[in-house]
Structure 1
Amino acid sequence: MPVIELNLSDEVYLRWRDFMGSQQADRLVEAGLLGDWVALGFMNKINDYLKQGGPPGVETEDERRQRMEAEARRKLTKPQKRVLPMFDENETITLPEICRVLGIPLDQGRTLVQDWVAQDFLSNAPRSRDDAPTFVLSRSWQERNLAANRPSLHAPRRLHFAAKSKPGPNEG
């Protein structure tokens, strides 16, 4: 019987080993179809694989990260979803700013922010502003928020309420 050798990544090899321990693989082996089935399945789908860049269900590391970040954003509470865009304009926000956006009293906001710090959504910032403690997104949420809202991490922040500046006498 002819033998085909394949070079596999460690990840695919581990997935193959897991599959080989399944009842589906056992039935194919018993019927003597496993090798033929894999080769025929691949050859029948080669055009689709070439169009898609690989078989369906094979996710690149970047696609996996983006999917997980999108899932994490979907799981945010409504108040968190309202606060998250505030970080597009400022790196730090204060408790009064959070309370103003959410329309809640300071005591309720303080409790909410403490919960968010414990959940690793926010972190305490090293400096205060206007005699109020400031908060930043946690490191993991900074990465998620930047990737979601500004594809280039170096994209300049532009305040939504800032008017375009008028050209000077020597400009345009």
Structure 2
Amino acid sequence: MTVTDTPMSILLTGPTGGLGRALLEPLARRHPAHLVLLGRARGPLQDAAEIARAAGARAVSIVEADLADLDDVARAGAALAALVKGGVPPLTSLVLNAGLQMTDRRHVSAQGLERTFAVNVAAQHLLLKASSAATAPGAHAVIVGSGTHFGDWHSYGMVPAPKWQDPELLARPDTAQDKT
């Protein structure tokens, strides 16, 4: 049996832009069994699903979730489990690519966490845990990170350098006021 003959699903978060968009077509071509696309907005997700189908994906499912809202992330885990219970092959690979960086001012998530931390760290951890009922034994996860946080020369001047925030402020965002 080849990899493409084995019932499998691959989860890709953030498939509508950046690195996720760049991964979409190669994943659809190389592993066409079933792609599960997770992102914030239905319209762009549907567009990404069409791109995946055109590139060779035999089946594509979409799951809407805002990774800045940890309740939404938990619901996404339940939605993934429901897909598998409904007949979608279990997830054999999870490509947790979605992420963000706020450079203009301090932002908070729905739960009061600093938003970059909420999306890039807390949501990734919670999504892995919440999707465990949908994953196959031996599944692999890849968490995509970025060097853009360095800003300045690390990103060839394309991303502004991050602003320093006092860790005490970021540790208690629900009571702290935006200082910028």
TM tier, smaller: under 0.3
Q: Which has the higher strand share?
A: 2
TM-score, with structure 2 as normaliser:
0.22
Instruction: Give the number of the structure with larger relative contact order, counting CA–CA contacts within 8 Å between residues 6 or more apart.
Output: 2
TM-score, with structure 1 as normaliser:
0.22
